[in-house]
Amino acid sequence: MPATLVDPEKILKDLRNLWSDLARDTEVAGGVLRACGMTLVVATDNGADMEELRHLLGVLMHNHPARAIVLKLDGKSDLSATVFSQCWMPFGKHQQICAEGVEISAGFSELNHVAQLLLPLIVSDLPAVLWCRGPRVFSGHDFDPLLPLVQKIIVDGTTVSDPYAAVVAVRELRKQGRLVADLSWTKLTGLRELIASVFDEGTASNIRSVRIFYGGDAPTVSALYFQTWIERALPEAHVTLEQRGEGTRSIRSIVLQGDCEVTLTRPDKATIEVRCRDRVRRSSLVPISEETLMSEELSILGPDPVFDKVLM
Amino acid sequence: MLKPVASNNPFADPLRFDRRVPECAIVIFGANGDLTKRKLLPALYRLAYERRLPDSFAIVGNSRTAMTDDAFREKMHESVKQFLEDSPFDEDLWSSFARNIYYVAGDLNDAKLYADLKKKLDELNRPNVLYYLSTQPSYYGPVVESIGAAGLGRSTEKGWHRVVIEKPFGHDLDSARALNARVHSVFPEDAVFRIDHYLGKETVQNIIAFRFGNGIFEPLWNRRYVNHVQITAAESIGVEGRGAYYQEAGALRDMIQNHLLQVMATVAMEPPAAFEPDAMRDERAKLLRSVKIMNPDEVSFHSVAGQYRGFREEPGVDPNSQTNTFAAATFFVDNWRWAGVPFYIRSGKKLAKRTTDIAIQFNSAPLSLFSSDDGRPPRPNLLILRIQPEEGISLRFLSKYPGAGMRLRPVSMDFNYGSSFGERSPSAYETLLMDVMTGDATLYTRQDMVEASWKAVTPILDSWAGRVFDFPNYEPGTWGPAESDAMLARNGHKWRNG
C-alpha cells in the first residue's frame, strides 16, 4: 500500500478501498469475512524488527481480530501512514477472515498530534488496547496523550534494566486508575498455577515461610511481582527474595515451609520439579513467547483483581 | 499433576488458570462404535492438545471384538486423524497421548468383563473413574448394574466415580423412570451425567449469554412482544446406514424429545438466580414442566409426522415402516411469560438443507404507516439464533430503500462468530467431557428434565403409535410434508425456510 497523507479521513477511505479490493480480488470461494473485535494500538521503537512485528500481529489476529494501529516511533518528526490487511483461512473453513491495520510513523514529540489522529481511527464502541513494546513508557510521560484513548495498557517490565523502577512505574499507572498489564506478570501464570495446584492438593498446608531464590545480579520484575503475590495470598507467612547463583536473571527455586517442606526447582526451562519429602513430580510449563503472553492479556479486557492486589 | 484450583485457594486466579482435569481414567463402553471414533476420541485428543488433560490421563476402551491395546490405538489413531474438527493433527502428541490408551475386550453381559476391567483399573490406579456408556441403549441398565456388582461404582475417599449416559434416556416416560431407578441403584444422582450434546454447543450456550448478559432483549422476551418461536433442526442427508436404529427411534424421539426441547427450555426459561449448575437446571426443568400437555384430540392439530420417499428402501428398514423421518409439533408453555405463544419445533432428514436455528418472530408494529417494497404488509422483526452451520445471530428489521418515496425493505443485521472471535470454538463433546471430568453438571440433563420432556411428547407418541400413516409423504430435498405448513397456517403463521 502506498504511504498516504496523514489525514484520518484519508486513512479511513483507504481502509474502505482496501476492503473493496479484497472483496473484488479474492479467489476464495467463500469470500472474505471482515473481522474486528477491538482496536489494538502498538507503540514500537523505530529499531524494532517490523517484519517480525507484522508476523506476530498476524498470528495474534487469529484469536483476537482487531484493527491494528502500529505506531513506529522515532526521534524524527515525519508523520506518514499506510494501511494493510492480515488475512487467514481458519483450519477446516472455506471463508477467508481478514483484519485491517494502519501503520503510522511518527516522532515521540508528535504523540499529541498522533493522539488526535488516533481518535477517529479507533473503532467505536469496541475495546481499545495500547501495547507499549519498548522501555520508553517506563520513563517520562511521552505516552500520556494516548492513555485516555484506550481501556487497557500493556507494558513489558523486562525491557527495563531497573526492575524496581519498572514496578514503581506500573503501580503509578494503576494508581491513575488505568487498567494496566505487564507481560512480566503474565509470564508467571504457569508457575502460579502450579503453586495453586500444590496448595490444592494439600501438599503445601500451613505455610509459615516462603523463600524465593533468583539467579543473576538482581531480581527480575517477575520475581518482584511473584514475591508480592505470595505475600498478598499468605499474609501470615514470612516471604523472602534471595539471590542464589550467577547467570541469567530468573526465579531459580521456591521453598514453601509448612507441614512439609515443598521445593520447586527448574531443572530446565520447560520443566518444574516439585519435591515434598521423598515425593517428586515433574510438570512441564507451556512455552512462553510474546505471542502467547499477548494473547493471554488480550483475553482479559476488564479488571484483573489478582494483579491489582499485587500492585496495591 | 494439576488439579482444578478450588475457590478457597488463596492462590486462585480464575481469570487466568484453565480448568484442568484431575488424574483420572475414562472407561468407554462401545469403544468400537461410531460415537467413540467420530466424537469422543477426537474430543479427548483435542483436550490433550490444549494441555487440559494430565499426562497420566488414561482411556480404557471396551467392545466385544478381541483386540490388543496396540490394535485399538492404531484404530483410534486413524479415527482421530479422520474426524478431528477444525484442528491439525500432531503425530508426536498422539504418541504420548496413545501411551495411556488401553483396551479390554468382553461381552457387556458377561461378569468376566467387569472383573477384567477392575483388574485393569487397579493396575492403572487412577483415583477418579468416568464410565461412558456409548453402547446400544438397551445395555445401559445391565452395564450400570454390572459396574455396581463388580464394586466399581461407588466413589471412594480417593476419588469420584461418575457415569455418562448417552441419549436416548428411555424410549418413553415409563422406561426412562425404570432406567433411572436402575442407574440410581449404583450411582447417586450427582454422579449421573445424562449427555445431550446440543447443550454443549457453543451457540446454544450463547443463548444464555445473549438473554441474560444483555439488557435490551429480556424486556421483549415474553408474550407481549413475541408472536411465535420456530425451532428447526433440518438435515439434508438421510439415515446414512443407521436405518435399523433410526427405525426404532424416529425424528420425534431422536431429536425433539431431547435436543430440541432442551433448546426450547434454554430459549424460554426464566433467569436463574445464579450461573450455577442446579440453579440453571432448576429453571430448565421448570420450563419443561410448564409445557402444556396435549389432549389426545389436539395431537393431530398440533403435530405432523412425515417420512421421505426412499426411506423404506434404506438398508435395514422395514419396507412398510411407519417411522417418522420428519416430525413437527406446536407446543405451548403454560406460564405468565409465554401463555398463548406457539413454539413450533420441527426436525427431519432429507430436507432442503442442513440448518439448525431458532427464530423468534416479534409482533408487528401496532400501526402500519408503511407498506413494504413488494406491496405486502411490512414483515415483523425476526431474531434468528443460528446454531449451524454458520453460527451467529441475525436481527431482521425494516429499512428505507434508497431513493425517492418511502419504500421499506427488510434488512438483516448479522453477528457472525468468526468476525468477532477468531478463536476456534470447542466441539460440544470437548466442552461436555471437560465439564463431567471437572464435576460441572450445568449442561447435563437431570432426571426431572428427562421426565418432563418425555411427558411433553407422550400424547404424540401414543397417538402416532395407533395410526397408520400414508407414508411416504414428502420428497427428499423439500421442507417436509405439506401438513407441516398447514399446521402453522392455521395460526396465520409460516415456516421460515431460510
Query: Does position B422 have pLDDT exceeding 80, yes or no?
Result: no
A48 touches chain B (CB under 8 A): no
Q: Which SS3 state, helix, strand or coil, does residue A265 take?
A: strand
- Positive or negative, the CA dihedral B107, B109, B112, B118 is positive
What mean pLDDT is predicted for residues B68-93?
91
As a whole number of angstroms, the distance between CA A175 and CA A168 comes to 10
As a whole number of angstroms, the distance between CA A262 and CA A260 comes to 6
Higher pLDDT, B276 or B115: B115
Predicted local confidence at residue B2, as pLDDT: 36
- pLDDT digit string (tens) for B38-64? 999 999 999 988 878 887 899 999 999
- pLDDT digit string (tens) for B241-272? 778 778 888 999 999 999 999 999 999 999 99
Of A31-35, A52-56, A216-220, B92-96, least confident by mean pLDDT is: A31-35
As a whole number of angstroms, the distance between CA B115 and CA B21 comes to 26
Select from A35, A92, A189 the Cβ nearest to the Cβ of B86: A92
A192 touches chain B (CB under 8 A): yes
Where do we find the cell 471384538? B65
Q: Are strands A128-132 and A152-155 parallel, antiparallel or unpaired?
A: parallel
User: In B269-348, which ranges are continuous DSSP H helix?
Assistant: 277-289, 299-302
Contact (CB, 8 A) for B46 and B426:
yes
Q: In A, residues 60-79, which contact B (CB 8 Å cutoff)?
A: 61-65
Query: Does position B361 have pLDDT exceeding 50, yes or no?
Result: yes
A288 touches chain B (CB under 8 A): no
CB contact under 8 Å between B2 and A197, yes or no, is yes
What mean pLDDT is predicted for residues B101-106?
97
Q: In B, residues 376-415, which contact A (CB 8 Å cutoff)?
A: none
Chain A residue at shortest CA distance from B84: A92
B2 touches chain A (CB under 8 A): yes
Higher pLDDT, B157 or B320: B320
Predicted local confidence at residue B158, as pLDDT: 81
Cβ-Cβ contacts under 8 Å, A91 against chain B: 86-88, 424
% of chain B surpassing 90 pLDDT:
69
Query: Does position B391 have pLDDT exceeding 90, yes or no?
Result: no
Select from B3, B51, B419 the Cβ nearest to the Cβ of A201: B3
In chain B, % helix, strand, coil (3-state, to 5) comes to: 40, 20, 40
Q: DSSP class of residue B308?
A: B
Residues 6+ positions from B461 with CB-CB distance below 8 Å: B172, B252, B253
What mean pLDDT is predicted for residues A52-71?
89
Cβ-Cβ contacts under 8 Å, B5 against chain A: 193, 196-197, 200
Give strand pairing partners of A105: A72, A80
- pLDDT digit string (tens) for B134-154? 998 999 999 999 999 999 988
Q: DSSP class of residue B330?
A: E
Predicted local confidence at residue A1, as pLDDT: 42
CB contact under 8 Å between B87 and A91, yes or no, is yes
CB contact under 8 Å between B10 and A62, yes or no, is no
Of A49-58, A169-178, B288-297, B486-495, least confident by mean pLDDT is: A49-58
A294 touches chain B (CB under 8 A): no
Q: Are strands A209-215 and A238-243 parallel, antiparallel or unpaired?
A: parallel
Contact (CB, 8 A) for A263 and A278:
no
Cβ-Cβ contacts under 8 Å, B4 against chain A: 200
Average pLDDT, chain B: 90
Neighbours of B154 (CB within 10 A): 13
CB contact under 8 Å between B88 and A34, yes or no, is no
What the block records as the C-alpha cell of A212 is 524465593
As a whole number of angstroms, the distance between CA B342 and CA B361 comes to 11
- Positive or negative, the CA dihedral A161, A162, A163, A168 is negative
- pLDDT digit string (tens) for A223-239? 999 999 999 999 999 99
What are the backbone angles phi and psi of residue B128, rounded to the nearest 5°?
-115, 140
**Residue pairs spanning A and B at CB distance below 8 A:** 93
Select from B6, B17, B88 the Cβ nearest to the Cβ of A91: B88
Query: Does position B93 have pLDDT exceeding 80, yes or no?
Result: yes
Rg for chain B, CA atoms, rounded: 24
Select from B5, B88, B419 the Cβ nearest to the Cβ of A196: B5
- Positive or negative, the CA dihedral A85, A91, A96, A98 is negative
The torsion region of residue B170 among left (phi > 0), alpha (psi -120 to 50) and beta comes to left
Predicted local confidence at residue B5, as pLDDT: 44
At B1, is the pLDDT very low, low, confident or very high (cuts 50, 70, 90)? very low
Query: Does position B6 have pLDDT exceeding 50, yes or no?
Result: no
As a whole number of angstroms, the distance between CA B300 and CA B483 comes to 10
What are the backbone angles phi and psi of residue B371, rounded to the nearest 5°?
-105, 155
Residue A265 corresponds to which amino acid? T
Chain A residue at shortest CA distance from B10: A233
Q: DSSP class of residue B106?
A: -
Domains and CATH numbers, chain A: 8-183 (3.40.50), 189-284 (3.30.360.10)
Q: Which SS3 state, helix, strand or coil, does residue B152 take?
A: coil
Interface test with A, best of B3, B7, B8, B15 (most A CBs within 10 A): B15
Chain A residue at shortest CA distance from B14: A306
Q: Is the pTM of this model over 0.95?
A: no
What the block records as the C-alpha cell of B157 is 475417599
Q: Are strands B226-234 and B355-362 parallel, antiparallel or unpaired?
A: antiparallel
CB contact under 8 Å between B15 and A193, yes or no, is no
What mean pLDDT is predicted for residues A20-46?
78
What mean pLDDT is predicted for residues B86-95?
86
A37 touches chain B (CB under 8 A): yes
CB contact under 8 Å between B422 and A305, yes or no, is no
Rg for chain A, CA atoms, rounded: 22
Q: DSSP class of residue B325?
A: S
As a whole number of angstroms, the distance between CA B269 and CA B154 comes to 34
Contact (CB, 8 A) for B39 and B429:
yes
Neighbours of B218 (CB within 10 A): 13
Q: What's the ipTM?
A: 0.86
Q: In B, residues 83-122, which contact A (CB 8 Å cutoff)?
A: 85-88
% of chain B surpassing 70 pLDDT:
96
Q: Which SS3 state, helix, strand or coil, does residue B304 take?
A: strand
Query: Does position A28 have pLDDT exceeding 60, yes or no?
Result: no
A92 touches chain B (CB under 8 A): yes
- Positive or negative, the CA dihedral B408, B409, B415, B420 is negative
Highest mean pLDDT among A24-38, A200-214, B35-49, B324-338: B324-338
At B4, is the pLDDT very low, low, confident or very high (cuts 50, 70, 90)? very low
Predicted local confidence at residue B365, as pLDDT: 83
The whole-angstrom distance between A292's CA and the closest CA on chain B is 12
Where do we find the cell 397417538? B463
CB contact under 8 Å between B418 and A97, yes or no, is yes
Catalytic residues of B: 259
CB contact under 8 Å between A305 and B15, yes or no, is yes
